[in-house]
Amino acid sequence: MENKGSNATIILIICNTFLFAIKITAGLISNSLAIISDAVNSLTDIVSSVIIFFAVKTSSKQADEGHPFGHHRAEPIAGLIVAIFAGILGFEILHTSILKLMEPHEHKIGIYAITVLLVSIGMKLLMSVYFKRFSRKINSPALLASSIDSRNDVYISTTALIGVICGLYGYPQMDDIAAILISFWIIYSGYKIGVQNIDYLMGRQPDSSIMEEIKKKACAIFGVIGIHDVRAHYVGNYIHVEIHISLDQNLTMIQAHDIGKNVQKEVEAIEGIHKTFVHIDPI
């Protein structure tokens, strides 16, 4: 999983570096604030991608004496850093766009600028789909954050494209208005990513569907009379479960232990669950 996650983040870094290079060139040539804002967004994506690369490698390390339950919180921390970067960037672009809107300035929009934005839209759409599927496959919130960010970049580049085309047809203010809209997109995406990863770090309970599946799996084990006090919470991007099972008090210790282990194995077979702690109550 570590190699797969690391390889995915390397692809992310390469794609974002390429997009930054062509966008910043187009933005400087055309003097388009919308394209420059989009380029700065790609620069932030590069920084975020590097952070995610190290987070994925750290998260997949085995548990050790200092971290007995593993290093799974590394990825939500990376996701939170990405969110903070997005927020700072969004407010900076918003501030610059408003100042530029009040100052007349010349635009030199050409076919290169429009082509760059179309390439950006296409690449980011493919990246969004790829990283969404891949993040679910390896249960990576950091890569899921990248997928959401790539999806939002499609909207950002589309907004920049509309502003550039309007500027080309004699409405230069639309370029600055597009940059303002881009800033709001960036701020909102940062907020969404931040909330999700804060939930992971705060140990939020999983969705009710997962809780019901835990109970169903435990109750189906032969010898389990009943269950109670089922609790689960996120430890990074994985789930830890604590469950109390009721067993016949006449069972031997070995029989009770085997039933408890069967419950543990069944619950840990559920996707996303890393550890299950079973407490046995004789009745």
Task: Report whether pLDDT(1) > 60.
Answer: no
Which domains does the chain show, CATH number per domain? 2-201 (1.20.1510.10), 208-282 (3.30.70.1350)
Q: Could you give the CA distance from residue 264 to residue 239 in angstroms, rounded to a whole number?
A: 13
Strand pairing report for 238-247 and 226-235: antiparallel
* DSSP state string for 187-226: HHHHHHHHHHHHHHHTTPPPPHHHHHHHHHHHHTSTT--E
Between 216 and 238, the higher pLDDT residue = 216
Q: Could you give the CA distance from residue 89 to residue 66 in angstroms, rounded to a whole number?
A: 35
Q: Could you give the CA distance from residue 218 to residue 224 in angstroms, rounded to a whole number?
A: 8
Q: What percentage of the chain exceeds 90 in pLDDT?
A: 23
Q: Could you give the CA distance from residue 8 to residue 5 in angstroms, rounded to a whole number?
A: 5
Token pair belonging to 196: 């999700």
Between 268 and 80, the higher pLDDT residue = 268
Q: Read off the pTM.
A: 0.61
- Average confidence score pLDDT of the chain: 82
Token pair belonging to 78: 């990376």
Q: What digits encode the pLDDT tens for the residues 234-248?
A: 877 678 899 999 999
Task: Report whether pLDDT(5) > 80.
Answer: no
User: Lowest-confidence range among 115-124, 141-150, 260-269?
Assistant: 141-150
C-alpha to C-alpha distances, 161 to 18, 50, 71, 164, 273, nearest whole angstrom: 18, 28, 42, 5, 43
Token pair belonging to 130: 């790829």
Which residues fall within 8 angstroms of residue 54, CB to CB, at 6 or more apart? 78
One-letter amino acid for residue 25 of the chain:
T
C-alpha to C-alpha distances, 152 to 20, 127, 145, nearest whole angstrom: 16, 11, 11
Q: Is 282 helix (H, G, I), strand (E, B) or coil?
A: strand
**Residue 280 binned pLDDT confidence (cut-offs 50, 70, 90):** very high
What integer pLDDT is reported at residue 4 of this predicted model? 61
Q: Is 239 helix (H, G, I), strand (E, B) or coil?
A: strand
What integer pLDDT is reported at residue 60 of this predicted model? 63
Q: What digits encode the pLDDT tens for the residues 66-119?
A: 655 556 667 777 778 878 877 887 887 787 778 777 766 566 667 888 899 999
**What mean pLDDT do residues 144-155 have?**
80
